[in-house]
Every structure is written in C-alpha cells, then in structure tokens.
C-alpha cells in the first residue's frame, strides 16, 4: 500500500503492477522513514515513474536526490521516535520511568532529583475540588466578639451601581464590626458623595474613612466602615465637609448602641510614609490594632517586583513590629497579592507560575519570612491546615470562577499571641467564596473578647 498524491494527500491504494521503479521500495518507506533515491537513475525518470506508481515524492535541491514521502501520521511517529531516541537514559534504562526506578534502587538521590525535574507536572483540567471547611464556633455562649472583613471590590463606583446589594447581603449575614473595601479607585473629589451613600445604606457604621491614591487617577485606594465611633484625635478626616465642621447632609437612622471595642484612631500609610497610593489603613482599638492593606502588585513583566520586595515588604514588616512593640497584638488583613503555599495555587505546576505576579518564588519566600520574623499566623491555615480548593481570586477573563481555578491572594493574619486558649484570641477565619460581585472573595476573622 502506498499513498497517492495529486496536490493533496489522499487515501492509500494498491500500486499498479506496471512501471517498475528504479529503486527499492520497502515496507517501511511509507510508515517510519523516508527512502532516499540513489543515483541509479536520472531524476526526471524517477519522478515520472513515481507519479505513474502513485508514490508521493519530494526533491532535494542541495543533495540532488529524490525521496519518497511517508504519510503525515507516519512523519509524526518518526519524529516521536527520534525524540525518544534523543531522551537521556541512565544506567542503560530505556525510558524515564525506568531511569527513576534505577535511581531509587541504587539510592542515587542526585540523579533521581535531576530525572524528576524533567518530568512534566500534570495540570488539573476539570473543576478544582474543595475540601469541606466548616465555620468554627465563634466563642462561648454570651461572650463578646469582634469580626473584621476585607474585600477587594475592583472599583467602588461600578460596584455601587451593580453590586451594592451583594455587600448589603454579606453585612446582613455576617454582621461584621469592621468592613474594609480595597481597590476602590476613587479620587478625593468622589469621597464626600460616596461617604453619604454608605452612611445612608449602612447606618450602623458610624465611622467611614477613605484613603485615596494621589499619584494616579482611578487607582488603588482602601476604605473602612466601623461600627465604633472614633474617639481618638489622630487620623485624617473622612471628608472635606467634616474637615470644615459641616454636618452630614443626611442624618443616619438611629441604631442600637454599639458596645464593642472602642476605636481610638485611624491612620494612613506606614508610619507616615506610603500615603500617595492609599494602600494602608491602621485602626487602633483599645486592646489591639487592625492593619488593612492592599499590597502592590508586582505588575506586568514583574516591573514592580524589586520595589515590592526591597521596599514595601521591608517597611511593612517594620510597621507591624512597631505596632506590636506598643504592647498590643495586631490583625493584618486584606489583599496581600501573594499565593504563599502550593495549595493556594490551582495550577502550581504550570511553567508560567514562577514568572507571574503574586506567585514568584521571591514573593512567596518573603511572605514566609514576614510570618516568621514578625511572629504572625495565617489564621485560615491555622484552623484549616490541609484545606484544598480554597481560593479568594479567580480570573474573570479566563472564566475560572465556575470551575474554581483560582489563587488565594487575600489573607487574615494575626499575632501569634492571639491563638491562646482564653482571653483575647482568634476563634475563626474564613473565606466567603460564595459571595459574588468581584473577582475576589471577602475574607475575615473573628476575635473572642475577654469578659
């Protein structure tokens, strides 16, 4: 059986019995390799007889030789055989699995490691399964609690128009004492109107404070709503009206008296710096601090990776250490833009992961250094150490949320001293992955307050 050729490849058929070829045509010619014609006959004669026999052929100008051409599938098989022949073998083994077995049998750990590096890592193709992570009992019956939630909403104005009911539903369900919304992208001129909107919609939150970016429009920014009224003198005024002593245009509806921790002050930035991008708010309560942050992304082509690692992370660690030196534990919560563990990345074996913002080895290692040197605990992992399939970010462009192919970029961290058996302590940490409205999910933690 040979392959006919008439401009395109067609089905195989038996060759005619006449017109003998001036070269040998063995059985492998059309299945495994190309048979090169010798100089036993002239090229025109060979070409004519090939056409007469229905044999596909090609002519090489450099070697002045004519060759029969195998079927496309045969060419693929030949290339595959060549790749396998070029693959390195170890100890005379025929393939990688045999080589790995030989390494294990001989105890050659170094060679085994090299062999493992060359093996492809399987990337999950279907939906990512999620292990059950039940919410924990918040505290003993009747004990007071404090709950903080952070959510990257990727633009406040669009969110307010399309998804404000999602925020209202989350607040009604969780009843947090403090809500931080990150990446609101507002300018200073938008703050007054949005503050009034939020006060109307959520009258239980007496304090509303915005930090905005002044270096770029429609960029970054974090804001916080607290049930407690601020009684300290530090911090920046919430709005221009409040700065000049004007009363709110709309008085909030009367709500029940808040009996939670007293809010003493709110400050922006890191010890006086890093205020131009509006990324950090530090809330001082009477017995603890809450730092809410939107950490800089390393950016496309990792252009801000050095800035993030060498400057931002260094100064954030110093800020957290400074707060703890005052004798109060610290909660650090928000979009920290890093996937720390392998379980926090749905496709951790993909080649591009080490080159992508938030999943580079430097970012992941630096996060671990912060946990160790500042004595912080990842609260969610503390309660759900073996949880898999729990993410807080999904690419909307790739449509990854329905199949749960995401990253855990949002965290709830706390001082190690807050994980005791009694007194002020963390009793729950969670990811509200069923709450829609953004490409991120809200994350939060609950403190049990001492009696």
Inform me whether the pLDDT recorded for 250 exceeds 60: no
DSSP state of 440: B
pLDDT, position 111: 44
pTM above 0.75, yes or no: no
Inform me whether the pLDDT recorded for 92 exceeds 50: no
176: left (phi over 0), alpha (psi -120 to 50) or beta: beta
Tell me if 2 sits within 8 A of 12, measured CB to CB.
Answer: yes
Tens digits of residue pLDDT in 191-216: 999 999 999 999 999 999 999 999 99
Strand partners, 425: 448
154, HSE (Cβ side, Cα atoms, 13 Å): 13
Q: Is 329 exposed, middle or buried (0-12, 13-18, 19+ CB in 10 A)?
A: buried
What residues contact 5, with CB distance under 8 A and at least 6 apart? 54, 55, 56, 57, 69
pLDDT, position 89: 46
pLDDT, position 82: 74
Average pLDDT, the chain: 81
Task: Give the whole-angstrom CA distance, residue 442 versus residue 432.
Answer: 5
- 294 catalytic, yes or no? yes
Smallest CA-to-CA distance from 384 within 426, 436, 354 is with 426
CA 284 to chain centre: 30
DSSP string of 301-325?
GGTTHHHIIIIIHHHHHHHHHHHHT
- 411 catalytic, yes or no? no
Q: How confident is the model at residue 38 (pLDDT cuts 50, 70, 90)?
A: very low
Inform me whether the pLDDT recorded for 154 exceeds 80: yes
Q: How confident is the model at residue 60 (pLDDT cuts 50, 70, 90)?
A: low
Task: Give the whole-angstrom CA distance, residue 181 versus residue 239.
Answer: 17
DSSP state of 300: G
Tell me if 410 sits within 8 A of 334, measured CB to CB.
Answer: yes
Tokens of 69: 């051409």
Q: How confident is the model at residue 10 (pLDDT cuts 50, 70, 90)?
A: very low
Tell me if 405 sits within 8 A of 344, measured CB to CB.
Answer: no
Inform me whether the pLDDT recorded for 101 exceeds 80: no
Q: 52-56, 87-91, 290-294, 423-427 — which is least confidently predicted? A: 87-91
State the angle between helix axes of 313-324 and 361-373 in degrees (0 to 180), rounded to the nearest 10. Answer: 10
113: left (phi over 0), alpha (psi -120 to 50) or beta: alpha
Q: Is 360 exposed, middle or buried (0-12, 13-18, 19+ CB in 10 A)?
A: buried
Task: Give the whole-angstrom CA distance, residue 352 versus residue 103.
Answer: 29
Strand partners, 225: 179, 208
Top pLDDT among 82 and 282 is at: 282
Inform me whether the pLDDT recorded for 256 exceeds 90: no
Domains of the chain, residue spans: 2-84, 87-117, 145-448
pLDDT, position 71: 52
In terms of DSSP H, where are the helices of 359-439? 361-373, 379-383
Taking residues 255-281, report their average pLDDT: 91
Q: How confident is the model at residue 59 (pLDDT cuts 50, 70, 90)?
A: low
Q: How confident is the model at residue 147 (pLDDT cuts 50, 70, 90)?
A: very high
Taking residues 405-414, report their average pLDDT: 98
Do the bridges between strand 178-182 and strand 145-152 make them parallel or antiparallel, or are there none, so unpaired? Answer: parallel
DSSP string of 174-240?
H--SEEEEE-----HHHHHHHHHHHHHH-TT--EEEEE--SSSTT---EEEEESSPB-SS-S--SSH
Inform me whether the pLDDT recorded for 21 exceeds 60: no
Taking residues 176-191, report their average pLDDT: 97
For Cα atoms 270, 274, 280, give the angle at the middle one, nearest 5 degrees.
Answer: 60
Top pLDDT among 63 and 90 is at: 63
Q: How confident is the model at residue 31 (pLDDT cuts 50, 70, 90)?
A: very low
Instruction: Select the highest-mean-pLDDT range: 25-34, 188-197, 242-251.
Output: 188-197
Of 30, 184, 340, 440, which is the active-site residue?
440
Cβ-based neighbour number of residue 45 at 10 Å: 13
Smallest CA-to-CA distance from 270 within 306, 222, 201 is with 222
pLDDT, position 80: 74
Taking residues 338-351, report their average pLDDT: 96
DSSP string of 331-381?
EEEEE-----SGGGBTTTTSTTGGGSTT-SHHHHHHHHHHHHHTTEEEHHH
Of 57, 205, 289, 294, which is the active-site residue?
294
Q: How confident is the model at residue 122 (pLDDT cuts 50, 70, 90)?
A: confident
Task: Give the whole-angstrom CA distance, residue 385 versus residue 398.
Answer: 28
Q: How confident is the model at residue 255 (pLDDT cuts 50, 70, 90)?
A: low
| The CATH number, out of the four listed (3.60.10.10, 3.90.550.10, 3.90.700.10, 3.40.50.300), of the domain defined by the range 145-448 | 3.60.10.10
pLDDT, position 123: 85
pLDDT, position 33: 39
Tell me if 241 sits within 8 A of 261, measured CB to CB.
Answer: no
Smallest CA-to-CA distance from 22 within 40, 3, 1 is with 40
């Amino acid at each position: 059986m040979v392959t006919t050729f008439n401009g395109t490849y067609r089905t195989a058929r038996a060759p005619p019995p006449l017109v003998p070829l001036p070269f040998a045509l063995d059985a492998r010619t059309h299945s495994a390799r190309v048979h090169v014609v010798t100089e036993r006959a002239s090229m025109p004669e060979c070409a004519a007889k090939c056409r007469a026999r229905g044999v596909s052929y090609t002519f090489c100008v450099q070697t002045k030789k004519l060759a029969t051409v195998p079927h496309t599938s045969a060419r693929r098989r030949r290339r595959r055989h060549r790749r396998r022949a070029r693959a390195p073998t170890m100890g005379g083994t025929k393939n990688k699995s045999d080589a790995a077995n030989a390494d294990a049998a001989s105890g050659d750990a170094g060679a085994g490691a090299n062999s493992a590096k060359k093996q492809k890592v399987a990337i999950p193709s279907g939906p990512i399964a999620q292990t059950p992570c039940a919410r924990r009992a918040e505290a003993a019956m009747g004990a007071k609690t404090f709950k903080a939630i952070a959510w990257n909403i990727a633009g406040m104005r669009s969110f307010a128009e399309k998804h404000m009911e999602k925020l209202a539903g989350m607040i009604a369900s969780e009843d947090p004492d403090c809500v931080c919304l990150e990446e609101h992208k507002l300018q200073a001129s938008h703050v007054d109107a949005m503050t009034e909107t939020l006060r109307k919609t959520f009258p239980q939150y007496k304090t509303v404070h915005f930090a905005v970016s002044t270096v770029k429009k429609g960029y970054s920014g974090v804001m916080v709503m607290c049930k407690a009224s601020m009684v300290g003198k530090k911090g920046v005024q919430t709005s221009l009206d409040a700065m000049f002593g004007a009363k709110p245009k709309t008085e909030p509806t009367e709500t029940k008296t808040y009996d939670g921790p007293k809010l003493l002050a709110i400050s922006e930035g890191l010890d006086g710096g890093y205020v131009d991008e509006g990324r950090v708010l530090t809330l001082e309560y009477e017995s603890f601090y809450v730092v809410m942050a939107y950490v800089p992304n390393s950016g496309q082509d990792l252009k801000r990776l050095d800035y993030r690692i060498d400057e931002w992370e260094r100064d954030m660690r110093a800020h957290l250490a400074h707060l703890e030196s005052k004798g109060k534990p610290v909660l650090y919560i928000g979009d920290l833009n890093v996937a720390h563990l392998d379980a926090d990345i749905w496709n951790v074996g993909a080649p591009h992961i080490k080159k992508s913002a938030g999943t580079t080895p430097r970012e992941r290692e630096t996060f671990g250094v912060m946990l160790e040197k500042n004595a912080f605990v990842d609260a969610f992992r503390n309660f759900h150490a073996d949880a898999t399939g729990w993410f807080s970010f999904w690419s909307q462009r790739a449509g990854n949320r329905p199949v749960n192919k995401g990253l855990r970029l949002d965290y709830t961290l706390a001082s190690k001293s807050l994980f005791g058996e009694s007194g002020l302590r963390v009793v729950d940490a969670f990811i509200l992955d069923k709450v829609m409205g953004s490409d991120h999910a809200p994350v939060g933690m609950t403190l049990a307050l001492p009696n």
